[in-house]
Amino acid sequence: MTDTVRRDNETVGELVARDYRTAQVFEKHGIDFCCGGNVEIAAVCREKGIDQDRLQQELAEATSTPVERSQNYGSWELPFLADYIVNTHHAYLKENTARIVGYANKIAEVHGPHHPEVIEIAKIFRKIATDLGAHLREEENVLFPAIRRLTELAKGGSVENAQEVAALKKSLSTLIHEHDEIGAAIHAIRDLAHGYQIPDDVCPTFATTYRMLEEFEDDLHKHVHLENNILFPKAGKI
């Protein structure tokens, strides 16, 4: 059974890193556990006017059974977790980001006169798509290979390469900042889309675009959580 001891000074991100099943509770209450996860539970409850005792009860219920190893991401070795991120979340982005850009541009052109918010949504998502391209290349070509090499060196008891460690930490700093920017952008899209509520006077393409944007946000939350709350902190301690 997962450790459900109450820790008021634990951050949201730390708790989700211990057990990803708690993410569904935070999502229910509109609590950001990825980009904004570095906030103590007690503080976020005060900020949002949430009954902390009730929240803790919901968290305990969500983690009342033994966690499956397939969800125990914090126990995975860093190279394995990096590979999982590439094969799952990077693959999703590469397959879907350009498609969403195309759909967003189309509904902006067709529905923009009556729903001007979709013009801004398309603009913001085009920027997200551009930024993500460089972001994924930095992770796949620089950060993740460095994590694999330094992990192997640590296992073999070899002396760390100080230059490579410095490069890794610089890359981590850059990527965390980019996560914050992309997270803020996708939250702006959600606000413009009124939580992805589909208006009555729109075509099926409009509805499809909003569903894809919501799916994109859900995947991004898990993706950034795995990096910000698990992979990056551990990599910074190699």
Mean pLDDT of the chain: 89
Confidence of residue 16 (pLDDT cuts 50, 70, 90): confident
Low-confidence winner among 72-86, 109-123, 165-179, 205-219 (lowest mean pLDDT): 165-179
Overall pTM > 0.75: yes
Distance CA 219, CA 98 (A): 15
Q: Average of pLDDT values for 149-167?
A: 75
Domain ranges of the chain: 12-71, 76-235
Tell whether the model's pLDDT for residue 2 goes beyond 50.
no
The predicted structure's pLDDT at residue 3: 47
Tell whether the model's pLDDT for residue 18 goes beyond 90.
no
Residue bearing the bigger pLDDT, 39 or 84: 84
Percentage of the residues of the chain whose pLDDT score is greater than 90: 58
Indicate the residue type of 22: T
The predicted structure's pLDDT at residue 160: 62
Contact 108, 118 (CB under 8 A): yes
The predicted structure's pLDDT at residue 8: 61
Contacts of residue 82, Cβ cutoff 8 Å, sequence gap at least 6? 144, 147, 148, 231
Residue bearing the bigger pLDDT, 48 or 103: 103
